[in-house]
Amino acid sequence: MELVNILEDEHLSTLNHSCAHMMAQAVRHLYPNAKFWVGPVVAEGFYYDMDLGDVSLKDEDLLKIEKEMKKIAKDGKRIVRKEISKEEALEMFGDDEYKVDLINRLEEGTISCYSQGDFTDLCRGPHVESVKMCKNFKLLKHSGAYWKGDSNNKMLQRVYGICFDTKEQLEAHLEALEEAKKRDHKKLGKEMELFMLSEYAPGMPIMLPNGMIFRNILEQFWYQEHTKEGYQFIKTPIIASRELWEISGHWDHYQQNMYTTKVDDRDFAIKPMNCPGALLVYNNSLHSYKDLPLRIGELGQVHRHEASGALNGLFRVRTFTQDDAHIFVTPDQLEEEVKKVLMLIDRIYSVFGLSYTIELSTRPESGYIGSLEIWEQSEKALANACVHAGKEYVVNPGDGAFYGPKLDIHIKDSLGRDWQCGTVQLDMNLPQRFECTYVDSEGKKQIPIMLHRVIYGSIERFMGILIEHFAGHFPLWLSPVQFDVIPVHVEKHLDYAKEIVSLLEKAGMRVQLDARNEKLGYRVREAQIKKIPYQIVVGEKDMENHTVTIRKSGSKEQMTLDVDQAVENFKLEVETKALFK
């Protein structure tokens, strides 16, 4: 069961764009004074922003719009493209200030529009041949959206929808959407007592005890894997003076997203990125080419001001921890070091059952620093590293940062959704700004190349992705509470249940005892809701035979095993980091 990314399919993108026009036509039929801003295709389907005057859409209104759309699709009008002048367009749409604004911002020359029956809209196209092809659709939700995304402008109404070629494709996608709702990390995070959100700290999630166990496991795993690869670890201050951010360039280019304050009449800022701290550490001592590559890792907490409307659970926050590493290399070490990073990324993602793709972003057309020769060498080194690591990649031309090319790692979760988490960015700018040097084999000072790289990206966001990827059913090694031991009758079987708890704890497991005076079915059901991997029920026969009755989370099946054998099985499952199925 996978969600389809509409933007990845050219035909579906065209179909959904045509359906957005059909929706606008239906809205115009129902609300003759409606005015329209933009209706683009997005990964989830399409949406259209509209001004309906005094009308405020409700959920039931979407059903009315759908009914009208079905009539339009059944009528089956052809979609016809027409080229008109800018003057004609202004005359045609003169009573719609939103379209007038769009037209005035277009370059001089002809403008394309598309008509279907009694409805015409500005559009570059392309579109499908007729509205009949758009009959398999569903309107998904509605919300408010500021005109041009500016909170100072009027609030418009946005309606989302999706369209497929067949009824079967649509139904499969809607089923996957329902599954995604069940997996919502905010819902599961509350049920599993992982984290909470508070209006006292908007955009700053609070980790609950279970969430801290989950988080600590991820961090410990990160430290273990990086220690194997020769990384050294640092901790840099969360706040630093304006001068540091001026050297790094953040003060001039990123200040609107930074939290600032004054200390002893000096300007300070909470760090939005960890990079400057790593550069200070590098400059703390002299370096020879023999010291490189130097791998410096930091799980560093950063703060960035995000618009309140953009905040979303653990996915979009105002404070998060980046699993940063900054690697200083000589030019001839670059390719091999990137290859090692890719192999580490592969090893870590595979533990979570996450597949991924790699995107190579190359030199922008303008505004970049460094010579063409260095850029070409750097891009070739990144490409070769992918090849030698046995990894395919696609090129994203001109999308590199001004300071260097990069590899972006896109993971796919169990619903087929794409998440950009890992990245490997080559930086020729900051080492120069911070006057970082090393002495080469000829005794000359050189500026090192710096690699920025993350794997989790943001620990908080990665936690949210994993919650939804596993639907809360974490592998045993990752689960905050691994076992719930439940005596059938508290009075009769409590001592034996405590014995099982003790054995599991001695084996290093995280276990809780549910000896509440509640019905057995209620206690088992609650453990299932909290996605505890194993419920261990002990009764009379278990006591007699020194066994345990085990039920996996999400399953109604159960099995009975000898206690010692069960503990050994559990230990092996944790040690191998087996995926929970």
Give me the active site residues, please.
Answer: 275, 304, 322, 324, 326, 406, 452
CA angle (144 as vertex; 141, 145 as ends), nearest 5? 115
H-helix or E-strand containing 110? none
CB-based contact 142:131 (threshold 8 Å):
no
Separation between Cα atoms, residue 352 and residue 350, nearest integer Å: 5
CA angle (100 as vertex; 52, 122 as ends), nearest 5? 80
Residues 6+ apart with CB under 8 A from 348: 221, 222, 225, 455
Q: Which long-range contacts (CB under 8 A, 24 or more apart) does 35-38 make?
A: 35/96, 35/97, 35/98, 35/99, 36/96, 36/98, 36/99, 36/121, 37/98, 37/102, 37/147, 37/156, 38/102
Residue 175 per-residue DSSP state: H
CB-based contact 313:183 (threshold 8 Å):
no
Identity of the residue numbered 566? A
Residues 6+ apart with CB under 8 A from 363: 372, 375, 379, 398, 400, 405
The position carrying tokens 């996450």 is: 354
CA angle (66 as vertex; 61, 67 as ends), nearest 5? 100
Question: Which tokens in the block code for residue 305?
Answer: 């001001």
Compute CA 95 distance to the chain's CA centroid, rounded to the nearest angstrom: 41
Indicate the length of the chain as a whole number: 581
Q: What would you measure as the largest C-alpha separation in the chain, in angstroms? A: 91
To 10 degrees, what angle do helices 209-228 and 459-469 make?
110
